[in-house]
Structure 1
Amino acid sequence: MLSVTNLSQGYGSQSVIDGITLKMEHGLHALLGPNGAGKTTLLRTLATVVPPRRGTISLDGVDLTFETLNDIRRGIGYLPQRFGFDPGMTVSEFIYYAAWARGLPRNERAAAVDEAIEKTGLVDKKNVKMRKLSGGMIQRVGIAWAIVGNPSLVILDEPTVGLDPLQRIHFRSVIAQQDNAVILLSTHLIDDVDAIADHIIVLDGGAIRFQGTKDELSREGDPSSPGNTPLERAYTTLLADHRER
Structure 2
Amino acid sequence: MELVVEHITKKYKDIVAVNDVNLTLTPGVWGLLGANGSGKTTLMRIICGILTQTTGEIYLDGKQITALGEEYRNLIGYLPQNFGYYSEFRVEDYLEYIAALKGLPERKSKTKIQEVLYKTSLEDVRKKLIRKLSGGMKRRVGIAQALLNEPQIMVLDEPTAGLDPGERVHFRNVISELAQERIVLISTHIVSDVEHIAANNAIMKNGEIIAFGTTEKLVLSLQGKVWQSIIPAKEFSIFKNEQYVVNVRNKNDGQVLVRYISEYENKNNAVLQSPCLEDLYLWLFKNEHIVGEEC
Which is worse superposed, 180-189 or 55-64? 55-64
Q: 1:75: which partner in 2?
A: 75
Query: What's the offset of the Cα at 1:24?
Result: 0.6
Q: Indicate whether 1:236 and 2:282 are aligned.
A: yes
1:8-47 alignment, distance < 5 Å: 8-47=9-48
SS at match of 2:141: helix
Q: Which of 208, 215, 227 is equivalent to 2:246?
A: 227
8 Å contact kept, 2:96–2:113: yes
Q: Distance in 1 between matches of 2:105 and 2:217?
A: 42
- The alignment of Structure 1 onto Structure 2 pairs a total of residues equal to 240
TM-superposition CA deviations, 1:32-87 (whole Å, max 9, x none) = 1122211111111111111111111123443121x532221111111111111112
Q: 2:255: which partner in 1?
A: none
Q: 1:199: which partner in 2?
A: 200
Q: Once superposed, which parts of structure 1, at least 4 consecutive aligned residues long, lie more than 4 Å away?
A: none
In structure 2, give the amino acid aligned to 1:195: H
SS at match of 1:220: helix
8 Å contact kept, 2:89–2:129: yes
SS at match of 1:234: helix
In structure 1, give the amino acid aligned to 2:150: N
Query: What's the offset of the Cα at 1:226?
Result: 4.1
Q: Which has the larger radius of gyration?
A: 2
Q: Distance in 2 between matches of 1:142 and 1:125?
A: 14
Q: Indicate whether 1:52 and 2:98 are aligned.
A: no
Query: What's the offset of the Cα at 1:147?
Result: 2.2
8 Å contact kept, 2:30–2:201: yes
Q: Distance in 2 between matches of 1:236 and 1:130?
A: 36
TM-superposition CA deviations, 1:184-241 (whole Å, max 9, x none) = 1011111112221111001111111111101111112231554355211122334469
Relative to the length of structure 2, the TM-score reads: 0.75
User: Could you list the runs of 5+ residues in structure 2 that have no partner in the other structure?
Assistant: 228-243, 248-274, 288-295
Q: 2:216: which partner in 1?
A: 215
Q: Distance in 2 between matches of 1:58 and 1:95?
A: 30
Q: Distance in 2 between matches of 1:60 and 1:167?
A: 35
In structure 1, give the amino acid aligned to 2:226: P
1:68-107 alignment, distance < 5 Å: 68-107=68-107
8 Å contact kept, 1:220–1:238: no
8 Å contact kept, 1:136–1:164: yes
8 Å contact kept, 1:24–1:182: yes
In structure 2, give the amino acid aligned to 1:210: A
SS at match of 1:28: strand
Q: Distance in 2 between matches of 1:174 and 1:166?
A: 13
Q: 1:184: which partner in 2?
A: 185
Pairwise CA RMSD of aligned residues?
Answer: 2.0
Taking CA–CA contacts closer than 8 Å with sequence separation of 6 or more, which of the two structures ends up with the larger relative contact order? 1
SS at match of 1:55: strand
Q: 1:103 to 1:199 in 2, by over 3 A?
A: farther
Q: 1:116 to 1:62 in 2, by over 3 A?
A: farther
Q: Distance in 2 between matches of 1:188 and 1:180?
A: 25
Q: Distance in 2 between matches of 1:5 and 1:109?
A: 35
TM-superposition CA deviations, 1:147-187 (whole Å, max 9, x none) = 22331111111111122111111111111111211111011
In structure 2, give the amino acid aligned to 1:231: L
Q: Distance in 2 between matches of 1:111 and 1:58?
A: 32
Q: 1:115 to 1:54 in 2, by over 3 A?
A: same
